[in-house]
Structure 1
Amino acid sequence: MPFIEESDLLDLHKDLDKSQIINERLLDQIKVKNKELKKSKIQRNVLAVFTTMILIGGLAIFSFTAGLSQSSNAMVDNQHVLMSIDSVDAYRARLETLRKKNDELSLVKEFYLAKKFIENETIYSVQVKSLVDKNLSLTSEGLTNTLLVKNNPFYAYSVGNFETLQEAQTFRRELVKIGFPDAFVASYKDGKRLKIESPN
């Protein structure tokens, strides 16, 4: 196994800590966005009920004024119709704003569901190191697809989350080219290593 300089190892440890912090922040943001999504759904339902009540009230006022005499109430009818149209337009604009917010929250929800799906599926990753200490900073801010798996008594550090073995093998070959000759592909499910895969 090749020798690694202590300064390089410390840099890798720092990078891993940064990545773990970033991943924790992303999970916190997902939780916040899920709460906002629930709140938005409640607001949307309340707004729909309120809009329906306004429309029914506007129609009731319009019907009431239409039943009165034509000469004295013609001007009143026009004012109620204009007021109803203005309020309907305002509610339509509010509904459109809420729909846009809902679309944004749906994207966050899809990301969260995709992450949950990955946790339940078999994935392939390239293990580059196995270390005794968990509190090591081995990732850079650019590498967010990393795994740190406990294999007693060591922590296995892997990079990349791939759906197919071929993708992981291609990535492993690139890592070997840049200085990780001991890198190998392993399959994982539910955060646990299943087996070491063929290097081809």
Structure 2
Amino acid sequence: METLAEQYQQVSKQKSRIQRYNKALKQALIFSGGLIVLLLGYLIFIEHFTPLFGRWPEVQQSLQSAQEENRYLKAQMDSLYRVNDMLLELSPYYTGVFYEVQIGAFEHFDLANYKDDLVKMNIDYNGPLDQYTLGKFRDLKKALAFQKDIQQMGIQDAFVVAKVDGERVTVKEALREAKRLQQGRQESLEKNPT
């Protein structure tokens, strides 16, 4: 025969077990209810909206369109840079890096009276010497080719001079500045692809 204490202990264990089962059952019901609400919400959503995975073709097409426009705009920017360079070469003002071919530097020879008629000849008044240059090139290779042509015409002392923002510098300094400007332009294109 079991004593009252033993019966109480068994009832207490069964009560504890039932409480654990009830707790697990509540958690399962809450989880199931949450899952059912989530599934119902998804069903309502797809009834009114196209699901994301159904939009992949639209997203892909939009991406391709944006990439094509990006390529077009980069080509336009490149074209604008080339036109800008050409306009700067033709401009009487100096901004950036330029190369000219000096054909002479004279102390007692003044062509100032003819300056209006010598549109393509540049005269730099530096100290006692008036320096005469022809051409205005962004590209050193073009300037060197022009120098060679001028020398073949008989002006053997012709040489290339470099300018950065209108100031004479060495060709090496001009090349370094041109490289720096080109890198800045490239970084600008990379930072602002559109």
Calculate the TM-score normalised by the size of structure 1.
0.36
Q: Which has the larger radius of gyration?
A: 2
Relative contact order higher in (CA < 8 Å, ≥ 6 apart): 1
